[in-house]
Amino acid sequence: MKKKVFFTLFAFFTLFFISMPSSAEIIVIKANGVVNPVMSEFISKNIKDAASAKADALVIEFDTPGGLDTSMRDIVRNIIASEVPIIVYVSPSGARAASAGVFITLSAHIAAMAPGTNIGAAHPVGIGGKMDKTMSEKAENDAAAYIKSIAEQRGRNSEWAEKAVRKSVSITDAEALKLNVIDIVAPDLDSLLKSIDNRTVEMSTGKHIIKTKGIKVQHKEPGLRHKILSIISDPNIAYILMLLGFYGIFFELTNPGAIFPGVFGAISLILAFYSFQTLPVNYAGLLLIILAIILFILEITIISHGVLTIGGVIAMIIGSLMLFESPLPFFRLSLMVILPAVILTTLFFSLTIGLAVKAHRRKPQTGIEGLIGLEGTAKTDVHKEGLVFVHGEIWSAWSDEPIKAGEKVIIDKVENLKLKVHAAKNNGQQTQV
């Protein structure tokens, strides 16, 4: 009896667990754009999340022109150490895995490409400018050794990988498949998943069989944080944020209490300096831009007849061109951004300067100083002492010459709340009433 109960319970629980839906899933993410700290953080986070969720695989839909060596190496390390299979899929048609993207693609447990894509051109380039011969050779040899080790670890064509570094060769998807650079050419994600079903891959923990049939596919989009960081990591956006920061802080300093311009400017500058951490910043260029802003400000207090403004324009143009010094186009400022920025900055400060000069030259309209130059009427005889009527008020006054009561007078100055005047008839200029 006891045996019957035991077997009944055993069969029940066996059927129960078999009938339970599998928690396994395939996670799919997109990594498009420059390989930088933002992309590295995004991919690394999803690799950890996939491991925590015990996903059956992580698919990275990949399209990149290349990027930073340090970020690439971070991604490669995380892929190699991953507890779940990583599939790098260069897609869609027209996409590429260039430069740093070659290393990442080759490091994947399964490397795939869509038709009409290409891979290659992995020769290292100094992002801070042209390297000397010795440094160039060192960088090239290091990159060649690194990519060969990755290719050999994954059983891929290490000879071609070395050529991609040393000779910057680039090949199509069909050529990559033929040369054993990648494993699969698939027109779309569904085809890719069907192709890798029951495929065995070598993991750091041993062999793993990938199951894709009937398994849920979850697409994960970048969070708001990663989207914002990705946008501001663009050199043109970083440049604009920096200028907006300078404008906001300058406006706050010249108009204390406005608050919003100062807060906006401070936030913009902080975001700009974060972006500079992900970009090849030439600090000589940054200092030239700061010098330009200082020259524009000095023009407000020092009337140089435009010399300081011209110097500021020149410094800003040169500094903008030097700010991100790199042979790589995606790390350079566009002239379509620089020229309008310089023109708008010049106009902004020129307008500010003009208003400041006008304010300095404008005759005071209020207070005691506002009385100077006004016309009044002598209420009594005025010489050493007397009274005059001006602006609806009676003032004590004196004059260097006798003035009779009822005569028009012009105010010359104010001393100790006493007016010095002269007779209007002796002043051949137009007066204010």
Q: What SS3 state is found at 70?
A: helix
Structure tokens at 401: 């010459």
- In contact, 103 and 68? CB cutoff 8 Å: no
- Residue 122 makes CB contacts below 8 A (sequence gap 6+) with 66, 98, 99, 100, 102, 103, 143, 147, 161, 164, 165, 168
The one catalytic residue in 82, 99, 107, 268 is 99
How do strand 387-390 and strand 375-378 relate by DSSP bridges? antiparallel
- Chain centre distance of CA 79: 27
For the question of residue 149 being annotated catalytic, the response is no
Q: Is-contact 147 164, C-beta < 8 A?
A: yes
Which of the 8 DSSP states describes residue 244? H
Catalytic residue (one of 138, 167, 413, 425): 138
How far, in Å, are 124, 231, 249, 320 from residue 68 at the CA level? Answer: 10, 17, 32, 21
Distance between CA atoms of residues 279 and 241, nearest Å: 14
Contact predicate 395/387, CB 8 Å: yes
Instruction: Give dist(CA 225, CA 358) in Å, integer.
Output: 46
| Displacement of CA 302 from its chain's centroid (Å) | 34
Whether 19 is a known active-site residue: answer: no
Q: Residue 423: what are its φ and ψ, rounded to 5°? A: -65, 135
Dihedral (Cα; 336, 337, 342, 344), 10-degree rounding: 100
- Residues 285, 247: contact at Cβ < 8 Å? no
The answer to whether 313 and 293 are in contact (CB under 8 A) is: no
| DSSP secondary structure string for all residues of 183-220 | SEE-SSHHHHHHHHTT-EEEETTEEEE---TT-EEEE-
Cα 377 to chain center, whole Å? 66
Beta strands in 24-109 (DSSP E): 25-32, 57-63, 86-90, 96-98
Residues 230, 222: Cα–Cα separation, whole Å:
10
Output the six-digit token pair for 21. 């839906």
Does residue 232 contact residue 245 with C-beta atoms inside 8 Å? no
216 closest CA partner among 42, 53, 49, 30: 53
Which residues does the annotation mark as catalytic? 99, 138
